[in-house]
Amino acid sequence: MENVNEKHKDTVFTFLFSDPALLRELYSAIEGITLPPDVPIDINTLSDVLFRRQRNDISFLLNNRLIVLIEHQSTINDNMPLRFLMYIAKLYQELTCPEDKFKRKLGKIPKPEFIVLYNGEDKYPDYKELRLSDAFMKTDKIKIDLPLELVVQVYNINKGRNQEILGKSHTLDSYSRFIDKIREYQKEYQWEYQNENQLKFLDKDEKKEILDKSFRSAIEYCIRNNILKDFLKKHGSEVLSMLYAEYDPEVEMRAVREETCEENRQYFLELINKGLTIEEIKERLNQKEFFNEARF
C-alpha cells in the first residue's frame, strides 16, 4: 500500500489496484502493451476537499504519462469529461511548482490519459469515447477550431465484455467475476426472501440483510474458487466495509451531506476573510451551488 494517500476513500477497486504491480498489469492490458516490472509507477490520487466525494478515482504517473483512472459501479455520467478536466487541473497544480507557470521557458508536463472501467448493470458498448466538446454551447455563425478538448475512454468490463483486456489482466477479470457474483447472490436472495414472505417490496432493513448475505456469500464463493483468493482472505473485513459504503445509498448520501456542509463552511469563511459584503457572499454561494450541480 505504498504511495497511497490514506485520506482517500477507497472502493474495493481502488483498494485492490493500489498495488503498483497490479496497476502495471491493468494498464498493460488496457493499452495492449507489456510494461517491464522495473517501470516505476507513482500513485498520486487526490484527496482534496473539492474531490473527496469522488471516492473511486485513481491517478498515477507512468513513463511521463499521467493516467487518471475511474471505476464505475452504476451508470456512466455524460459529464465525466468535465469532471476529469477539473481533476487534471488540480493534479497539475499539485505536481508543478507555483513559480513554473511564470517562467518564460516552456515547462514540460506529463501527458494525460483518461480511462473509465464501467461495470454497471445498464447496457453499454464495449468501448465508447466521451468528449468535453459535446458539452460546449453552440455558437451561431461563428466557425472556430475547438480551443479545448478532453477525451475519456470508457471500457465495459462486465462479464463477457472486452475479453481481450480481461484475458490479459487476471486481476481485473477476477474483480469482474467477484462483482458479478455479488449481483447474482443479491438477485437470488431477493427472490427467495420475497417469495418466502410473500412480499412485493422490501423495506430498508430487509434490503440491508440481503446485501449483507450477498457480500459474504460472494466472498466465500470466490475464496473457494480461487477468485481474488489471497486478497479476500487477507482483507475480508475491509472489503465488507467498503462494499457496505458502495452499495448503501444512505451511507453515501449521508457522507455527501456531511462533506458539503464542511465545504460550504470553509468557503463561507474564506469569503468573509476576503472582506466581501453580504450581497457579494450570497452571489458567490449561488454560483458555487450552480457549479456543484453541473459538476456532479
Mean pLDDT by 10 residues, the chain (296 residues): 42 89 93 89 72 63 86 76 89 84 84 92 91 85 76 92 93 94 92 80 85 95 97 94 76 51 69 78 65 41
* Chain mean position to CA 23: 15
Based on the domain organization, do 40 and 152 belong to the same domain?
yes
Q: What is the DSSP letter of 112?
A: E
Distance CA 56, CA 73 (A): 10
Which residues neighbour 171 within 8 Å (Cβ) at sequence distance 6 or greater?
16, 17, 22, 25, 26, 228
* Alpha-carbon distance values, 137 to 132, 140, 142, 187 (Å): 11, 10, 12, 42
Based on the domain organization, do 133 and 221 belong to the same domain?
no
pLDDT at 5: 37
Which residues neighbour 11 within 8 Å (Cβ) at sequence distance 6 or greater?
55, 56, 71, 73, 242, 246
Based on the domain organization, do 127 and 193 belong to the same domain?
no
Helices marked H in the chain — which ranges?
Answer: 12-16, 20-31, 80-95, 163-168, 170-196, 204-224, 229-247, 249-273, 278-295
Boundary (domain end) residue, out of 138, 162, 186: 162
If DSSP codes are grouped into helix, strand and coil, which group holds residue 70?
strand
Based on the domain organization, do 133 and 234 belong to the same domain?
no
Distance CA 218, CA 229 (A): 11
If DSSP codes are grouped into helix, strand and coil, which group holds residue 75?
coil
Distance CA 252, CA 75 (A): 16
Based on the domain organization, do 63 and 115 belong to the same domain?
yes
- Which residues pair with residue 19 across a beta bridge? none
pLDDT at 296: 36
Distance CA 224, CA 221 (A): 5
- Which residues pair with residue 43 across a beta bridge? 60
Total count of domains within the chain? 3
pLDDT at 192: 86
Based on the domain organization, do 72 and 90 belong to the same domain?
yes
Based on the domain organization, do 260 and 229 belong to the same domain?
no
Based on the domain organization, do 99 and 216 belong to the same domain?
no
Place of cell 470553509: 266
pLDDT at 53: 47
Place of cell 475519456: 152
Boundary (domain end) residue, out of 144, 162, 180: 162
Boundary (domain end) residue, out of 135, 162, 189: 162
CA dihedral defined by 264, 266, 272, 276, rounded to 10 degrees?
A: -50
Based on the domain organization, do 183 and 262 belong to the same domain?
no
Amino acid at 6: E
Distance CA 80, CA 69 (A): 12
pLDDT at 252: 47
Distance CA 204, CA 209 (A): 9
Based on the domain organization, do 196 and 265 belong to the same domain?
no
* Chain mean position to CA 66: 16
Based on the domain organization, do 55 and 85 belong to the same domain?
yes
Based on the domain organization, do 111 and 59 belong to the same domain?
yes
Amino acid at 68: V
Quote the domain boundaries for residue 260: 252-295
